[in-house]
Amino acid sequence: MRRKKRAKVVESAKCNRSAICATLNVVAFKGQTLRIECKLVEDDRQEVKNAMMEKMPSLKASLGENGENAVMLRVTDATATFYKIMEPVETVTF
């Protein structure tokens, strides 16, 4: 079952572009909306999974001791756009 889910996530990541949207609630950006358009590339390096497990040990129960059930994705070719009411749009490419 987990392999099917993993395959779906990896296949979805192979599409041309992905988008991530969020409303920011950090003091410096309060009230702004962030949209990141990017490509997602699978990063299957074990050291990346180990770093995630080290920072969030509570995930070990669901993702396995070494993160074998996790899919790590890397953001590439990204454009971040900050929207705020009554202010110019700010765009950052990375």
78 contacts: CB under 8 Å, gap ≥ 6: 36, 37, 38, 39, 93, 94
User: Mind listing the pLDDT tens digit for each residue in 66-78?
Assistant: 888 888 999 999 9
Tell me which residue range forms the domain holding 73. Answer: 2-93
User: Mind listing the pLDDT tens digit for each residue in 50-68?
Assistant: 999 999 999 889 988 888 8
Which helix (DSSP H) or strand (DSSP E) does residue 52 occupy? Answer: helix 46-55
From the CB of residue 62, how many other CB atoms can be counted at a distance below 10 Å? 8
Q: What is the pTM of this model?
A: 0.66
Lowest mean pLDDT among 12-26, 31-45, 72-86: 12-26
User: What single-letter amino acid sits at 16?
Assistant: N
Structural domains of the chain, count: 1
Phi, psi dihedral angles at 87 (to 5 degrees):
-135, 155
CA 76 to chain centre: 10
